[in-house]
Amino acid sequence: MSQIINHPSVDVVVLGMGVVGGTVAVELSKAGYKVVGLERGPHWEFATDFFYTKFDEWGIGFMRKFDISLAITSSTLRNNSSQFALPIRRNTIGYSGQIISEGWGVGGMAQHYGGVMGRYGPWVYQVYSDTASKYGLGFLNAAVPHQDIIDWPMTYDDYTPYYEQWEKMWGVCGTNEGPLLSGFDNYSYPLPPAPTTPVGTAFKNATEALGYSPFPGPHALATQSFVNPYGVGVQECIYEGWCAGPCNYTCEVGAKANSDFRTIPAALGTGNFELRINSYIFRLDTDSSGNIIAARYYDEQGNVNVQPGTVFFNGLWGFNIVKLMMNSGVGNNYDPVSSTGSLGRGIAMGVPPPVRTATGILDNIGGNSYTCGSGYGGAYAIRDLCDDNFDHTGLNFIGGAYPEAGFYPGGGPNNFAFFADQPTPAMIGSTFKASLKNVFLPTKTLVALAPSGVSPPVTDWYIDLDPHYTDQYGDPLPRLTIDWTMNEVNCANYLAPKCADILTKMGASNVQVSPEITTPVSHNPAWQAHMRGGARIGSDSATSVFNKWQQCWTSQNLFAAGEICKPMGDNTTAGTHPIGPMSYVAAEGIKNYLKTPGPLV
Positions in 141-200 near another protein (CB under 8 A): 168, 188-191, 195-198
117 vs 481: CA distance, rounded Å: 28
Position 460 contacts another protein (CB under 8 A)? no
567 vs 580: CA distance, rounded Å: 15
CB–CB of 566/583 below 8 Å? no
230 vs 327: CA distance, rounded Å: 36
Contacts of 257 (CB under 8 A, 6+ apart): 110, 115, 170, 171, 172, 220, 221, 222
Residue closer to another protein by CB (options 53, 518) is 53
Position 226 contacts another protein (CB under 8 A)? yes
Return the residue of 87, 161, 308, 354 that touches another protein, per CB under 8 A.
Answer: 87
Please report how close the Cβ of residue 175 comes to another protein at its closest, in angstroms.
Answer: 11
Nearest to 191 by CA among 59, 427, 26, 377: 377
Q: Which stretch binds another protein (CB under 8 A): 120-128, 141-149, 329-337, 429-437?
A: 429-437
Residue 470, classed as helix, strand or coil, is: strand
49 DSSP 8-state letter: I
Q: Which stretch binds another protein (CB under 8 A): 73-81, 112-120, 344-352, 502-510?
A: 73-81
Residue closer to another protein by CB (options 98, 555) is 98
Position 446 contacts another protein (CB under 8 A)? no
State the binding string over 480-519 for another protein (x if CB under 8 A, else -).
----------------------------------------
The Cβ-side half-sphere exposure at 82, using a 13 Å CA radius, reads 0
Please report how close the Cβ of residue 533 comes to another protein at its closest, in angstroms.
Answer: 20
Please report how close the Cβ of residue 127 comes to another protein at its closest, in angstroms.
Answer: 28
Residue closer to another protein by CB (options 303, 327) is 327
Interface size with another protein, residues (CB under 8 A): 117
Positions in 18-37 near another protein (CB under 8 A): 30
276 DSSP 8-state letter: E
217 vs 490: CA distance, rounded Å: 25
Residue closer to another protein by CB (options 52, 145) is 52
SS3 letters for 344-393? CEEEECCCCCCCCCEEEEEECCCCCCCCECCCCCCCEECCCCCCCCCCCC
Residue closer to another protein by CB (options 330, 447) is 447
Residue 166, classed as helix, strand or coil, is: helix
Kindly write down the DSSP assignment for every residue of 548-572, as one continuous string: TTSBBSSSTTEEE-SGGG-S---SS
The Cβ-side half-sphere exposure at 198, using a 13 Å CA radius, reads 16
Positions in 32-71 near another protein (CB under 8 A): 45-48, 51-55, 57-58, 62-65, 69-71
Position 444 contacts another protein (CB under 8 A)? no
Position 408 contacts another protein (CB under 8 A)? yes
Q: Which stretch binds another protein (CB under 8 A): 81-89, 126-134, 152-160, 333-341?
A: 81-89
Please report how close the Cβ of residue 228 comes to another protein at its closest, in angstroms.
Answer: 6
State the binding string over 536-575 for another protein (x if CB under 8 A, else -).
----------------------------------------
Position 373 contacts another protein (CB under 8 A)? yes
CB–CB of 405/199 below 8 Å? yes
Position 258 contacts another protein (CB under 8 A)? no
Position 229 contacts another protein (CB under 8 A)? yes
At position 294, the amino acid (one-letter code) is: A
- Enclosing H/E stretch for 316: none
Position 327 contacts another protein (CB under 8 A)? no
Please report how close the Cβ of residue 69 comes to another protein at its closest, in angstroms.
Answer: 4
CB–CB of 480/78 below 8 Å? yes
547 vs 559: CA distance, rounded Å: 9
Please report how close the Cβ of residue 434 comes to another protein at its closest, in angstroms.
Answer: 5
Residue closer to another protein by CB (options 122, 183) is 183
Return the residue of 3, 364, 518, 519 that touches another protein, per CB under 8 A.
Answer: 364
Kindly write down the DSSP assignment for every residue of 392-427, as one continuous string: -TT-S-------EE-----SGGGGGHHHHTS--GGG
Residue closer to another protein by CB (options 167, 387) is 167
Contacts of 328 (CB under 8 A, 6+ apart): 283, 284, 285, 286
Position 274 contacts another protein (CB under 8 A)? no
